[in-house]
């Protein structure tokens, strides 16, 4: 059994060279909002949900991105309402939010 039922990683990578990076697209705000919603809903912790900071996930072209494991579901989100939907549907109920899924071909 997985230590966390669902473990979501947000790319918060910054680049100084002008290349595309999730931090330019309010990734920190997405992470912060997710973290606070998961906590408020009582989902956080062992056997539940962990919201994690991560470095570059190398799918920058779809940024800002996040990945939910062990499901291996990748998301590209825009704003707080997208995060709310990921929290409510996926992190709480295990239901993939299809409209936000990152297409398979999107890489760096």
Q: How far apart are CA 89 and CA 106, in angstroms?
A: 23
Q: Shortest CA distance to 75 belongs to which of 48, 98, 107?
A: 98
Greatest CA separation for the chain: 42
Per-residue x/- track, 28-67, a copy of itself (CB under 8 A): ------------------x---x-xxxxxxxx-------x
- Kindly state whether residue 94 participates in binding a copy of itself, applying the rule CB under 8 A: no
Only segment of 22-30, 69-77, 81-89, 90-98 that touches a copy of itself (CB under 8 A): 69-77
The tokens for 42 are 């009582």
Is 69 a residue that touches a copy of itself (CB under 8 A)?
Answer: yes
């Amino acid at each position: 059994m997985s230590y966390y039922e669902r473990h979501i990683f947000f790319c918060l990578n910054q680049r100084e060279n002008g290349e595309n990076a999730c931090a330019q697209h309010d990734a920190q705000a997405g992470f912060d909002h997710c973290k606070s919603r998961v906590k408020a809903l009582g989902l956080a912790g062992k056997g539940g949900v962990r919201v994690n900071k991560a470095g570059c996930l190398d799918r920058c072209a779809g940024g800002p991105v996040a990945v939910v494991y062990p499901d291996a579901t990748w998301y590209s989100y825009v704003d707080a309402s997208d995060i709310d939907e990921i929290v409510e549907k996926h992190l709480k109920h295990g239901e993939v939010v299809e409209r936000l899924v990152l297409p398979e071909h999107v890489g760096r």
